Homo-oligomer: A and B are copies of this chain.
Amino acid sequence: MEVTVSRHAHFNAAHRLHVASWSLERNTQVFGKCANPKYHGHNYELIVSVRGAVDPITGFVVDLSWLSVLINKEVEERLDHKNLNEEVAEFKTLNPTAENIAMVIWQWLQPHFNENQKLKVTLYETPRNFVEFSG
């Protein structure tokens, strides 16, 4: 009997979308206003979901307090109030699209779960755009 448990978190960050090997013209053509070299930013809303067996004693898949601390340490401390392009090693070369940010967050969190626990990351870039990644 498997249940999925989910926890919301959030971080605010600046970023811009661009491919380093492209000219500003081409970046603007592909990424529009998101290519602004001066950056813009978002309130990212993050949902971390874990699917797994329910512990028959505690009734927990995972302890959500532990999960909340984990998200704070692995994600919020790295991304909150940061410039993703300039201050986060993973995005020095990787374009910080919502897709790529979600995959990077998943890779940071994944080692903390066992092989029977399935991790999924949902990331809202705005209330109108979001992405999901589950490995």
A residues at B contact (CB < 8 Å): 1, 3-8, 10, 12-15, 17, 19, 30-34, 36, 38-43, 45, 54, 57-61, 63-65, 80-83, 86-87, 94-100, 102-103, 126-133
A81, B127: Cβ atoms under 8 Å? no
Copies of this chain in its oligomeric complex: 6
A87 to B8, CA, bound (A): 29
Distance from A43 Cβ to chain B, minimum over Cβ atoms (Å): 5
B128, A7: Cβ atoms under 8 Å? yes
Contact A3-B99, Cβ < 8 Å, known A80-B33, A81-B33, A86-B38: yes
Contact A81-B14, Cβ < 8 Å, known A5-B129, A98-B5: no
